[in-house]
C-alpha cells in the first residue's frame, strides 16, 4: 500500500508537461489535450480543464441530413462533443486504458463506445451493424475514421492486435472487439453450439469474421452496451 505525506502525494501525482504535442498520455488512463483550436471527444469524458474552452454537443444537422449522425451515437447512449478553445483538456472514460494513434492518410474502424477523441482534420462516418441490430446489444455501431491526424481510443485493460492474412482469418466476439483496419469488412457468423458453452440466454453466439489483409484489436473484456435488448455478455 502506498502511503504519502500530502506533499509527497502531490509530488508523485502532479501533472507533468511531457512536450508530446496535441495528444499526450498524462497517465495510461488519462488523456491530456493541449488544445489550440478545436477537438472532437466522446460526450461525458471531460474530467478537468484549464484555460478558455467551450463545450458543445454534436448538432443533429451539423453534418447534413445525410449523416444525421445516423442517430447511432445518440441512440446508443454515446454522443460526441465539440470542444473549442485554448488550454489543457483532460479526458478519461471509466478508467479504460487509452491508446493514441497517428493516422497518415489511413483509415481505421473503431467501435463507437471505444472512441475517445480525434482531431477535426480526421473525416469520419458512422456504420451501424444492422445485421445484428435485433440480435445483440440493440445493434452495434462503429466509426470509420480516415485522414491525417491523431485519434485516441480506449480499451478495458491492455489491447491485443491480431494480424489478419488471406489464409488466416480471425474470429472475434463483437463485445470484445475494439478496432480494425480500414481495409477489412467483417462478416457476422453464428455458432449455435457455442452458445451452450458461453451460457447465452437467448439467440445464437455471434462472431465477427475478419478476412483479407489487415489487423483487428481486441480487449480482454466483453463490454455490454447501452440499449441491450438481446443476449448479454
How far CA 89 is from CA of 17, 58, 81, 95, 126, in Å, comes to 13, 18, 13, 16, 25
CATH 3.30.70.100, applies to 21-218? no
pLDDT of residue 184: 94
**How far apart are alpha carbons 143 and 135 in whole angstroms?**
20
> Among residues 22, 193, 186, which one has the least CA distance to residue 117?
22
Cβ neighbors of 72 (< 8 A, separation 6 or more) are: 112, 126, 128, 139, 141
pLDDT digits (tens, 9 = 90+) for 29-58: 999 999 999 999 998 999 999 999 999 987
H or E element that contains 9: helix 6-13
Q: Which three cell numbers stand for residue 191?
A: 455458432
Kindly give the residue spans of alpha helices, DSSP state H, lying in 28-179.
72-75
Give the dihedral of Cα atoms 159, 165, 171, 174; nearest 10 deg.
50
Please state the domain extents for the chain. Answer: 21-218
pTM, rounded to two decimals: 0.82
Q: Which residues in the chain come in under a pLDDT of 50?
A: 65-66, 69, 72-77, 137-138, 200-203, 226-233
The three-point CA angle 18-94-52 to 5° equals: 50
pLDDT of residue 64: 53
DSSP state of 224: P
* Cβ atoms of residues 40 and 120 within 8 Å: yes
CB atoms within 10 A of CB 29: 14
Q: 3-state DSSP call for residue 13?
A: helix
Amino acid at each position: 500500500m502506498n502511503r504519502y505525506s500530502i506533499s509527497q502525494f502531490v509530488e508523485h501525482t502532479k501533472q507533468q508537461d511531457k512536450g508530446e504535442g496535441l495528444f499526450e498520455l498524462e497517465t495510461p488512463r488519462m488523456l491530456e489535450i493541449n488544445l489550440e483550436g478545436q477537438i472532437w471527444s466522446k460526450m461525458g469524458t471531460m474530467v478537468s480543464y484549464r484555460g478558455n474552452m467551450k463545450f458543445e454537443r454534436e448538432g443533429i444537422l451539423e453534418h447534413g441530413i445525410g449523416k444525421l449522425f445516423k442517430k447511432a451515437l445518440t441512440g446508443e447512449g454515446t454522443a460526441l462533443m465539440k470542444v473549442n478553445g485554448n488550454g489543457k483538456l483532460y479526458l478519461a472514460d471509466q478508467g479504460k486504458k487509452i491508446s493514441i494513434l497517428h493516422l497518415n492518410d489511413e483509415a481505421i474502424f473503431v467501435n463507437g463506445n471505444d472512441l475517445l477523441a480525434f482531431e477535426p482534420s480526421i473525416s469520419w462516418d458512422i456504420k451501424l451493424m444492422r445485421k445484428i441490430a435485433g440480435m445483440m446489444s440493440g445493434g452495434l455501431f462503429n466509426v470509420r475514421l480516415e485522414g491525417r491526424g491523431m485519434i485516441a481510443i480506449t480499451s478495458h485493460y491492455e489491447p491485443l492486435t491480431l494480424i489478419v492474412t488471406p489464409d488466416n482469418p480471425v474470429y472475434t466476439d463483437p463485445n470484445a472487439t475494439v478496432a480494425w483496419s480500414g481495409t477489412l469488412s467483417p462478416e457476422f457468423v453464428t455458432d449455435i453450439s457455442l452458445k451452450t458453452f458461453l451460457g447465452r440466454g437467448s439467440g445464437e453466439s455471434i462472431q465477427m469474421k475478419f478476412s483479407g489483409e489487415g489487423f483487428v484489436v481486441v480487449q480482454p473484456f466483453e463490454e455490454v452496451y447501452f440499449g441491450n435488448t438481446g443476449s448479454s455478455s
